[in-house]
A = this chain, B = another copy of it.
Amino acid sequence: MIPVNPDRFLQDLHTLRGFGAAGLGKGVVRPAFSEADIAARKWLAARFAEAGLTPHFDPVGNLFGLAEGPSLLMGSHSDSQPEGGWLDGALGVIAALEVARAARDSGGPPVSVVSFQDEEGRFGVTTGSAIWSGTLPLAEADALVDHAGIGFAAERAKLADLAGDFVDPGRFTGFLELHIEQGPTLDSTGGQIGVVTDIVGIRDMRITFDGQQNHAGTTPMHLRRDAFQALAAFTAEINAHFSGVVTPATVWTIGHVALHPNASSIVAGRAVFSMQWRDGSAERLDRMEEIIRTVASEVADARDLSLSFGPMLGLQPVAMDRRLFAALEEGARQVAPGRWQILPSGALHDSTNLSNLMPVAMLFVPSIGGISHAFAEDTAEDDLVAGLRVLAHAVPRLSG
């Protein structure tokens, strides 16, 4: 086992929490390319250098701490949701840093570290690792805008002065990502470690209904082309149509809605909203997409609205690499006997993209109450350290 230092690990984790601290619990506000995100990445680059790793920003804000020669890659992301927790992504980056520097100090195997950019999807879905892995062409990414209309190209330019080329994935032998579960499974069963079997696929599409903006007092109901009423009808229809297709593990979400002009005395002329769905089966994701497109067209036609679909961002379900999975499983046995289990990941991770470049595997620690993507997100420090120790056990098994 690599002699990791839990205190140093926890201290760095709490220091990182200070960048974009929400002032509510341990919450952070550190979306991709925000001032807090950029400051955090510069701080991380300095930590990497102290650990004897070469800091390297690629053209889209992914930050690497590179060991010399071939190495295992470990990490996650340090950007957060608009209202995020302190561990989502940050845990995997700091755990990787601790393992890498402990390995280096103790003459262990070479480990490189990475913090990917915009995993939380301000511009898309796992934007930074999607670009590096080739699943999202850079030109396409540059055309993406966030919900405020700000472009990815303009935001990544903020780091242009520090940016080098994209890193050659060929130098890495595999990728390990430690992450909080972000769901209720481990917490509700008293589990301390989860070894991930596979990651569900996800699709995320922006849909727009265009109707007729008009006066809310003088336009009779039967003459209205109300974009919000269309959205409400679409929502009910989708729920009904999915019932015959989905499993209890399938999820779908309309989390972002923008009405235009969004005033109480005006019939909404336009509704733009996000439609996101996740499942372990690529076939089921396809069938859900067909239903979404069909129902949206039917709702638009029935109400004389026009309909448009934004670019769909998607990631296929991914199975973990057997060799890496086995190493994590053995580590879990050592560190948390009787308190570990295997489980799928309902959440999307950078590992999904990296599976296109190299073998990947993931490890989970519990989320208290299953809460994540919220200021209240937290995990017991014993569990955080347990996750670190599993990695410290697994890494030596993977060298040579």
Q: Which residue numbers of A lie inside 8 Å of B, CB to CB?
A: 81-83, 120-121, 125, 147, 181-184, 200, 202, 204, 213-223, 226, 228-229, 231-233, 235-236, 239, 248-259, 261-269, 274, 276, 278, 346-348, 370-374
Contacts and interface: CB of A to CB of B under 8 A. Distances in A.
A215 to B, nearest CB: 5
Contacts of A264: 121, 204, 253, 255-256, 274, 276
5 contacts: A184-B218, A220-B249, A228-B254, A255-B263, A269-B374
- Chain B CB count within 10 A is highest, among A147, A215, A267, for A215
Of A216, A219, A370, the most chain B CB neighbours within 10 A belong to A216
A107 to B, nearest CB: 39
Nearest to A278: B217
Contacts of A262: 147, 255-258
Contacts of A256: 259, 262-264
Contacts of A254: 228-229, 232
Contacts of A231: 232
B184 A265 contact: no
A251 B216 CA distance: 7
B372 A251 contact: no
A235 B228 CA distance: 9
Given A182-B218, A221-B248, A264-B274, 5 more contacts: A182-B215, A214-B371, A217-B348, A222-B248, A257-B259
Pick the most buried of A120, A183, A226: most chain B CB atoms within 10 A of its CB.
A183
Nearest to A376: B213
A276 B278 CA distance: 36
A370 B223 CA distance: 11
Contacts of A274: 264
Contacts of A373: 213-216, 265-266
Contacts of A374: 213-214, 269
B147 A213 contact: no
A121 B265 contact: yes
Contact of A81 (B83, B121, B250, B263): B263
Nearest to A348: B217
Contacts of A213: 83, 373-374
Contacts of A200: 217
A218 B183 contact: yes
Given A82-B261, A255-B264, A262-B255, A183 B219 contact: yes
Contacts of A215: 182-183, 347, 372-373
Nearest to A88: B215
A279 B304 CA distance: 26
A236 B228 contact: no
- What are the 3 closest A-B residue pairs judged by CB atoms, nearest first? A183-B218, A264-B274, A232-B235
A46 to B, nearest CB: 30
A262 to B, nearest CB: 5
Contacts of A266: 81, 253, 255, 373
A182 B269 CA distance: 16
Contacts of A265: 81, 120-121, 125, 204, 253, 255, 276, 373
Nearest to A239: B229
A368 to B, nearest CB: 13
A121 B217 CA distance: 13
